[in-house]
Structure 1
């Protein structure tokens, strides 16, 4: 059984959702960043952390990629053009959405107060909306890669939900509808149910 350290209101949600999608047993150990249990496994103190036997894996993208490859689900085979496109989509989401949201979070409550630049958030919101509009124009659906639901969809949906919670503009109707559809997946709902546990 996998052990996952983290919380639903963090990037650990991506791993929870992945584990629910592929039907693998796991134990969620609720832990905030820098919790002693997390620091014992990851010296940066960041979550999520996945323990698979004696192996410790950090970073949500690395974890869900590992799980996808190990179980042969929600991914295309390495060395194929479809996998290259999947990896490209995943990296684009990390670069154009995740990094923008993370920078806003850092300047809202993570960095020491004297290091925050709150004014940067207006620029970040503009950048996020521009990037989302561009993605919406190229989206054919029902998933980012057409008919294949992959780890790129998990990361993208998590970012879209994060944006809504953080008050970022998610005005592109195509991508709003996509995010709503993804939230209707049974595995998504099961992962989200950990909030009530």
Structure 2
């Protein structure tokens, strides 16, 4: 059985959304981020990203990690692409061409969007985004994101989904990165087709099931 190390309030949502879509069995091993604990080394500390038991699985101490038989993967985008391809069906690639496109969009999200989008996400999580200063900083970040979001806007002006005219793992990988910037509404307002695509994929039962569990998770 697929084993997933992580918690819902982390990048683990990428693979957890995928398994909801696929309806496959899995075991979730709750591993919380070490920075969320007052004393991560305490004898009674929860299993966390600095726990020796977890570092034996993932020396980088990051979540998520997955184990499938003897295969261990520590990068979330590799995990989702692997699980989708192994499971097959419409959510995975139908041929080498689609596999290459899915890989390209996933890497585009990670390299061109994620770093800056996370600045908005973190400002929102801390409450700073609600302030004038936070809005001003988000506006500057949005200027940087305008270029990659422009690429998305052009694509979704002619495509309902990222690859192959259907919902796939590429939509999960891309949407879970774009979501980090979702709290800054002016960015989405400036890219309406991208906003429509994001709303479309987040309306899926698989996303809703994952998100409900995320909201219910106790840290």
The TM-score with structure 2 as length reference comes to 0.73
Q: Which residue of 2 aligns with 1:113?
A: none
Q: For residues 90-101 of structure 1, what are the structure 2 equivalents within 5 Å? A: 90-101=106-117
- Aligned position for 2:78: 62
Structure 1 segment 1-197 matched on structure 2, within 5 A: 1-34=1-34, 35=48, 36=51, 37-73=53-89, 74-77=91-94, 80-102=96-118, 123-139=140-156, 140-165=158-183, 169-171=187-189, 172-195=191-214, 196-197=216-217
> In structure 1, what is the Cα distance between the partners aligned to 2:183 and 2:60?
26
Q: 1:124 & 1:38 partners in 2: Cα distance?
A: 34
Instruction: Tell me the number of residue pairs that the alignment of Structure 1 and Structure 2 aligns.
Output: 188
- For the pair shown, the structure with the greater C-alpha radius of gyration is 2
Listed one character per residue, the Cα deviations across residues 75-117 of structure 1 (whole Å, up to 9, x for unaligned) are 2245x223222222222122221233346778999xxxxxxxx
Looking at structure 2, the residues matched to 175 and 65 of structure 1 have their Cα atoms a distance apart, in angstroms, of 22
Compute the RMSD of aligned alpha carbons: 2.8
Residue 148 of structure 1, CA deviation: 2.4
Instruction: Summarize the Cα distance change of 1:27–1:167 in structure 2 as closer, same or farther, 3 Å threshold.
Output: farther
For the residues of structure 2 that align with 1:122 and 1:143, how far apart are their CA atoms? 27
- Tell me how far 1:61 sits from its aligned partner: 0.5
Query: 1:62: Cα distance to partner?
Result: 0.8
SS in structure 2 of the partner of residue 170 of structure 1: helix
**Distance of aligned partners of 1:17 and 1:107 in 2 relative to their CA distance in 1, 3 Å threshold:** closer
Name structure 1 gaps, 5 residues minimum.
Answer: 110-117
Rate the CA distance shift 1:122–1:40 in 2: closer, same or farther, 3 A: farther
Contact (CA 8 Å) 2:65, 2:73: kept in 1 or not?
yes
Q: 1:92 to 1:39 in 2, by over 3 A?
A: same
* Residue pair 1:160, 1:170 contacting (<8 A) in 2 also: no
Partners of 2:138 and 2:184 within 8 A in 1: no
Structure 2: where are the runs of 5+ without partners? 35-47, 126-133
Q: Structure 1 length as normaliser, TM-score?
A: 0.81
The runs of at least 4 aligned residues of structure 1 exceeding 3 Å deviation read 102-109, 118-124, 165-168
- Distance in 2 of aligned mates of 1:41 and 1:168: 41
